Amino acid sequence: MDMISIPAVNMTPIIPEIFLSVLAMALLLINVFVPSEKKSYLAYLSFFGIIASAVLVVNGWGSHVESFGGSVVLDNFATFFKITFLVAAGLAVLISDQYMDREGCNHGELYPLILFTVVGMMLMASGTDLMTIFLGLEVMSISLYVLAGFNRSSKKSNEAGLKYFLLGSFSTGFLLYGMALIYGATGTTRLYKIATIVGQMTLPSANLLLVAGMLLMMTGFAFKIAAAPFHMWTPDVYEGAPTPMTAFMSAGPKAAGFAALLRIFLLALPTLQAEWSQVLWVLAVLTMTVGNITALRQDNIKRVLAYSSIAHAGYALVGFAAGNATGTAGILFYMLSYAFMNIGAFAIIILVSKKGETNGNVSDFAGLGFKRPVLAVVMTIFLFSLAGMPPTAGFIGKFYLFSGAIQKGYIWLAVIGVLNSAASVYYYLRITVYMYMKEATEDFSWIQVTAPVGLALAISVAGSLIPGIVPSFILQYAQMAVKLL
């Protein structure tokens, strides 16, 4: 019985993860010594930590390093998504402090949890082993269950956490079953190996174990990205969760889900593309349609954005169904810009709502346009970006997604997509209608834009507009990112 010799491993691919984990733990320790009214320092610390880790991430651009025996890889794809996660987390951190203070639940553990979530998401994006991906997913999910229920005193928050937890673990069951079947069909959990084995199969689509495994896995991830019919949790959880966490949830985990899906499907199962793109076609249509149509009649603005978030998952699925470089690069681009515009919109919602998340209906925005013109303009930019109006990032993103589908020959999918996005215009416009075209019922004097929120808004506006006007560089990075898959 010899000793187990732990092999020398290359740590490069997970340096940002390590950094963030260490930072999170450090914050946990610091938290003990920070008095409850000074928790903002933790926010600043974690924000700078996120920036630092972003630097670390960016540093890895262009390299391709596999490590841990093929459990994890550092490549442009992962880097791109990691940036997206960090953007989401950074913005979420910035907008959290004010909200949490107001709601009286500014516990210092919030920030470490966010950072751990990011670690989980990063592992999903860079993992090349089903186990890594699964564990990344769970780290992310468990943190999110907690974050969703973070405001213990709020019944809604409680309920959101519980719902998310129960349905999330239910979906985990399917995901795992799928992984098990894949494992059974291929004999391994390493994506590269799966790719090789599946590539050697004469007719992979006839292998039911494989196909079923693929579908079940898709189910699991579809839950995370809120694709119909696995989307039902989304509106409730988004509504109930503390708003900054909703913002974070809508941007980060969705992107992470796509990262994992893309990684698995494009890396390991490209030979099954005919099958999965067929399914994704249907899912995309269902998701867009359900999301958009249901959103039309919502009153609570968080719910509106929740359904809109479902619809956006649908748009991204359009690009995914196409499965080509245009579409997938579109997903990458879209997820990044979606993080900006959606979190920006939620930031405005935070500002407009009052303690206890009252004042959160669409009609409560009445007259904002002329009482607080800057905020309203900013919100309008986010909304138009969400609606996909040029010259915003949302438009370019959608353009690439749908273009991917068209390039692939899925014209009807693109047509359904654009019709959906025309319908979606209605509920985004509805918010602008209230902001600009209805008389104000309140004077919005309670709105205070603190420095972090202001910064978050500025970043979001820049992130929604600049990629819309000069999208080239981001798109090129996205293209490079998907090329290596």
Identify residues 278-297 at the interface with another protein (CB under 8 A). Answer: 279, 290, 293-297
Q: Which is nearer to another protein, 41 or 450 (CB)?
A: 41
Cα 472 to Cα 353: distance, rounded to the nearest angstrom = 37
Name the strand (E) or helix (H) holding 50: helix 40-59
Tokens 């491993």 belong to which residue? 9
Binding of another protein by 15 (CB under 8 A): no
Q: How far is the CB of 229 from another protein (least distance, A)?
A: 4
Nearest to 74 by CA among 154, 163, 142, 13: 13
String of b and e for 327-366 (b: at least 16 CB within 10 Å)? bbbbbbbbbbbbbbbbbbbbbbbbbbbeeebebbbbebbb
Of 146, 166, 184, nearest to 233 (Cα)? 166
Contact 431, 379 (CB under 8 A): yes
Q: Which one, 394 or 463, has the nearer CB to another protein?
A: 394
CA–CA dist 260, 269 (Å, integer): 12
Q: Whole-number minimum distance, CB 418 to another protein, in Å?
A: 4
Q: Which of residues 183-222 bind another protein (CB under 8 A)?
A: 183-189, 197, 207-212, 215-216, 218-219, 222
Chain positions 77 to 106 lying near another protein, rule: CB under 8 A, are none
Q: Which of 47, 315, 338, 402 binds another protein (CB under 8 A)?
A: 402
Find the binding residues for another protein in span 413-432 (CB under 8 A).
414-415, 418-419, 421-423, 425-426, 429-430, 432
In the bound state with another protein, the residue whose beta carbon lies nearer, of 429 and 450, is 429
Binding window for another protein (CB under 8 A); candidates: 51-59, 134-142, 315-323, 337-345:
134-142
Least separation in angstroms between residue 209's CB and another protein is: 4
Q: How far apart are CA 320 and CA 437, in angstroms?
A: 38
Give the separation between CA 255 and CA 85, rounded to whole angstroms.
7
The yes or no reply on residue 146 touching another protein (CB under 8 A) is yes
Question: Rounded CA gap, 283 and 453, in Å?
Answer: 36
Minimal distance, residue 361 CB to another protein, in Å: 13
Q: Which stretch binds another protein (CB under 8 A): 43-51, 110-118, 242-250, 449-457?
A: 110-118
- Show the site string, 342-381: x = touches another protein by CB under 8 A, - = not: ---------------------------xx--x--------
Measured CA to CA in angstroms, residue 276 lies from 217, 218, 332 at distances of 11, 9, 19
Residue 274 engages another protein in binding (rule: CB under 8 A):
no
DSSP calls for 23-39: HHHHHHHHHHHS-GGGT
Our CB check for another protein shows the closer of 181 and 348 to be 181
In the complex, least distance from residue 154 CB atom to another protein, rounded to whole angstroms: 8
> Binding to another protein by residue 458, rule CB under 8 A?
no
Under the criterion CB under 8 A, does residue 472 sit at the interface with another protein? yes
Q: Closest CB to another protein among 71 and 98?
A: 71
d(CA 129, CA 226): 23
CB of 39 to another protein, least distance (A): 12
Query: The tokens 């903002």 sit on which residue?
Result: 40
Examine residue 455 and tell whether it contacts another protein (CB under 8 A).
no
Footprint of another protein on 299-338 (CB under 8 A): 325-326, 329
Q: Considering the complex, what minimum distance in angstroms separates the CB of residue 419 from another protein?
A: 7
What are the b/e assignments for 39-48, b being 16+ CB within 10 Å? bbbbbebbbe
Stretch that binds another protein, among 76-84, 86-94, 164-172, 354-362 (CB under 8 A): 164-172
Please report whether residue 73 would count as binding another protein according to CB under 8 A. no
User: At its nearest, how many Å lie between another protein and the CB of residue 77?
Assistant: 15
Residues 13 and 10: their CA atoms lie apart, in Å, by: 7
- Number of residues assigned to the chain: 485
- 129 forms part of the interface with another protein (CB under 8 A): yes
In the complex, what is the shortest distance from the CB of residue 118 to another protein, in angstroms, rounded to a whole number?
A: 11
Beta carbons within 8 Å of 46's beta carbon, 6+ residues apart: 23, 27, 93, 111, 112, 114, 115
Give residues with Cβ within 8 angstroms of 142, minimum separation 6. Answer: none
CA of 87: how far to CAs of 51, 205, 341, 371, 445, in Å? Answer: 9, 38, 11, 30, 30
- Closer CB to another protein, residue 50 or residue 222? 222
- Contact segment (CB under 8 A) with another protein among 63-71, 261-269, 336-344, 359-367 equals 63-71
Nearer to another protein, 135 or 450 (CB): 135
Q: Specify the amino acid at residue 366.
A: A
Binding positions for another protein, 217-256, rule CB under 8 A: 218-219, 222-223, 228-230, 232-233, 235-236, 239-240
CB atoms within 10 A of CB 325: 16
Q: Quote the least distance from Cβ 24 to another protein, whole Å.
A: 9
Residue from 139, 362, 453, 457 that binds another protein (CB under 8 A)? 139
